[in-house]
Structure formats: C-alpha cells, structure tokens
Amino acid sequence: MIEEGQVAYGFDIEVPGTFDAVRAQVVEALKTQGFGVLTEIDVSATMKAKLGKDMPRYNILGACNPTLAHQAISAEPDIGLLLPCNVVVSEQAGGAIKVAFMDPVSVLALVANARVTELGWQVRAKLEAVRDALKA
C-alpha cells in the first residue's frame, strides 16, 4: 500500500525554507549517511535554455554511497543502469519545497538478485534517515 507522500517508486517530504537552503540541507543530510552528490541537473534551467519554457525550480541530485554502490556492482555488474539514487528538490505551488527520494527497493526489484535486494533495503533505510533529518 502506498502512503501519503509516496509513489510506487519513491517517497517525499515538504521542507520549510528557500530552495537553495533546502538543497544545501539535503546535500548535508546525504553526507551524514555516506552519500555524495555525483551529478546535479538543473531541470528548470535546461528547459528554459532548450525549449524556452519556464517552470518552477527543479533539481535532480544523483546521490551515491560509494561503499554500497561498490557492493551492488560486485553483486550485479550491470546495476549501474539503475544508479545513482536520484533525489529531486523542487519548488511547489505557493513556494513550498518538496524533496523526493527514489525508492531503491522498488527500483532494484527489477534485478533478480537477493544480494541486490538486501542492499536496496539498506539504501532505503539511509535515504529514509535523510528524509527524517529534514523534518527536524
């Protein structure tokens, strides 16, 4: 069953503050769980540059926990097709800031490998800890 604030492939939270402050808070909270941000895509700037379309601020952070990523790649060499764990920071109507997390358990269910499934649960727990840190 999907709870409020969840979709089949992720979970989210609204965080008070400005977009830049919340983004920085997310990056710091990720660090506490062993994640670094490998990539960042400013989707709103890209849509403006490529299509001339304005949209609320929307950034995709490609987060990676090197230890767990190494274990996953060792267990399933093509797992990189499903990495990194994406975290979206987006501006909502009325100025609220939403932080959405990819659910690694749902995504990694595509792989029929018990070790990868176990790692997915470990990653989910870490991402949920990041989400919970943002509640404070």
- CATH fold, domain 10-135, is TATA-Binding Protein (3.30.310)
d(CA 114, CA 76): 10
Q: Where do the structural domains in the chain lie, given as residue ranges?
A: 10-135
The parts of the chain modelled with pLDDT lower than 50 are 1-2
Of residues 29, 41, 16, the one with CA closest to residue 98? 16
- pLDDT at residue number 121: 96
- pLDDT at residue number 37: 98
Strands 36-42 and 58-64: antiparallel
- pLDDT at residue number 1: 39
DSSP letter, residue 80: G
> What is the number of alpha carbons within 13 Å of residue 125 lying toward its C-beta?
7
- pLDDT at residue number 2: 41
CB atoms within 10 A of CB 127: 25
Angle between helices 19-32 and 114-135 (to 10 degrees): 130
